[in-house]
A and B are shown apart, each in its own frame.
Chain A
Amino acid sequence: MKFKSRFSFSGFLILLILGICLAAPILSPYDPNAIGVADSFSGPTGKHWFGADDLGRDLLSRILYGGRITILIAMSATLIALIIGTLWGLTAGVRRGWVDEFLMRTADATMAIPQILFALVCISAVGASVISLPIVVGILLSPTTARMARSAVVTELSSDYVVAAIASGTKRSRLIISEVMPNIAPQLLVQLSINAAAAVMLEATLSFIGLGIQPPNASWGTLMLQGYAKIWNTYWFVFFPAMAVTITILAFNAYGERIRVTMDSRRSSI
């Protein structure tokens, strides 16, 4: 019986990050790829708030544009994971029997492969692009989503309202879409949020080890990679992109947690 405001700081933060990245061309003070040798290695100043890199490119602009790439990849990957994972889990949870067994063992097997290794092999084979990266990251995230979707659907299918729906002649397709899906949607939303955080992290990691978007374009991970070598002299190269990644991941995780808590308290208050 707790009364919480509808406003969520984490939700607001996510919208803010998305908004800023979307509006990068308007907000950026400079062209992210414009080279200005005079400013190379400039620290944070009034001219370059986040400093400039070795080629004198404005870091703030590069982070704003980099965010677009990171967020785009993370979002697409999350969406792919959601679609694959939900279908995967639903099929297992609804069909049960050997289908369930097969699909879930496959999920276990997929999860057992080291993520980076898997990505390494895939990206080396097809090359890094805004198409290949989301697909690879999405596939990596889908088994956890599948597991979650399966367990949610199995729980729902054993509940009284499903018995009532079957007993009143509801067809199976309708049962899943109209009765069960609305009830597992909040859990999927939580998973979506967790996946988004994981996708940002994975993209950053992949870029950091050189498997990300190739220059001159840069995602947050690429920026960190470029800055890492000079971390002792020019901390801002790595600090600001890292902060962007951290804040985004925290926001997504906090938002997921919030939905989960609201969901639980609502369920227990009934």
Chain B
Amino acid sequence: MKNALIVNNLTLSVPSSKGRVTVVDDVSFDIPAGTKVGLVGESGSGKSLTAYSLMRLIKDPVRIDKGEIYIGDREILGMSMKEFRHMRGNDISMIYQDPMSALNPIMRIGAQIIESIQLHSDVNHSQARKLAIEHLASVGIPEPDRRIDSYPFEMSGGMLQRVVIAIALSGEPKVLIADEATTALDVTTQDRVLTLIDKLAAERGLSVLLITHDLGVAAQFSDEIMVMYAGKLVERGSVNQIFSNPVHPYTKALLDSRCDYTIDVTKPINSIAGQPPRPDNRPEGCVFSPRCEHVQLQCREGVPPLISVQDRLAACFRADELFHVGMVH
């Protein structure tokens, strides 16, 4: 299958009191066309910075030290900002946690959608307005011909996120990045917005990168899952592989520490001891080794590469062994 997005060896750093420290460390992945990939990680794992790199939104003091990003077959990190601006919205779009960050609070939403439509295609104002109403209808906004004249503050969070989705998709991009796009919403609203993204992706053959800290969201709305920890991609596989049979101890531990209404309430939750390392204090060897239950000497000495294990990718020296033995607490 053709890849809609390829990331090679992406490495990002920030300054700290100890000099520049790496926050995203040699991350490589691809997203096949028409696939929804969930990128899961805790705060500080580097998942959002990875997403921002795809939109070239990395700003000082964060720096891209290394890496290539291909959208379709064009490398974007090397091209001029002017060139890339044409790709934003037309080839790749992003929606954020706070819809207001993407909207102008004092402009009617219709004007904002029309502006975006006219930026991407050569239509006159009344045609664009018609299209805007269609877009609003397609994201499930009731009475779109009336709502188009609303201001952002007149709409709820879920509605605004729909408007942002309409704007993001108005240029008919191939890749959509959703960065914690439903985190701030109530569960029932989250469900509707995610279902909407699901439906639109299916209709338009979109490739989606769904960035979330919520394992449930990733499980329900992606085809494949990538897990990040402390700037590293530690495991990648299908939803089934990751959620029924993870091979990386971090993935396993993360799943065990979740608290949804299906878990056994009579026992304590299997939490991971300690906390994720700060970027200026990353351990030697495997980044997860200090908190890992299966740690061995080699884990502290060398950095495990992301390699193919049991039909998926995992960055753990013991992945294959743990798959066979099974990870039991």
Contacts and interface: CB of A to CB of B under 8 A. Distances in A.
Interface string B14-58: 111100000000000000000000000000000000000000000
B61 interface: yes
A82 B177 CA distance: 51
Interface string B240-257: 000000000000000000
- Tell me the dominant secondary structure on chain B's binding face: strand
Nearest to B14: A1
A232 interface: no
A6 interface: no
Task: Report the interface size class on chain B.
Answer: under 10
Nearest to A1: B61
A44 to B, nearest CB: 46
A3 B19 CA distance: 11
- Tell me the dominant secondary structure on chain A's binding face: loop
Contacts of B61: 1-2
Contacts of B15: 1, 3
Interface string A1-17: 11100000000000000
Interface string A43-87: 000000000000000000000000000000000000000000000
B17 A3 contact: yes
Contacts of A1: 14-16, 61
A7 B14 CA distance: 23
Contacts of A2: 61
A118 B61 CA distance: 50
B62 to A, nearest CB: 9
Contacts of A3: 15, 17
A1 B17 CA distance: 10
B44 to A, nearest CB: 13
A205 B14 CA distance: 49
Nearest to B61: A1
Contacts of B16: 1
A266 to B, nearest CB: 15
B146 to A, nearest CB: 36
Interface in A155-196: none
B268 to A, nearest CB: 27
A3 B18 CA distance: 11
Interface in A104-161: none
Nearest to A2: B61
A3 B17 CA distance: 8
Contacts of B17: 3
Nearest to B62: A1
A156 B120 CA distance: 46
A3 B14 CA distance: 12
A2 B17 CA distance: 10
A115 B324 CA distance: 84
B288 to A, nearest CB: 25
Interface in B1-23: 14-17
7 contacts: A1-B14, A1-B15, A1-B16, A1-B61, A2-B61, A3-B15, A3-B17
Which 7 residue pairs of A and B lie closest in terms of their CB atoms, listed nearest first? A1-B61, A1-B14, A1-B15, A3-B15, A3-B17, A2-B61, A1-B16
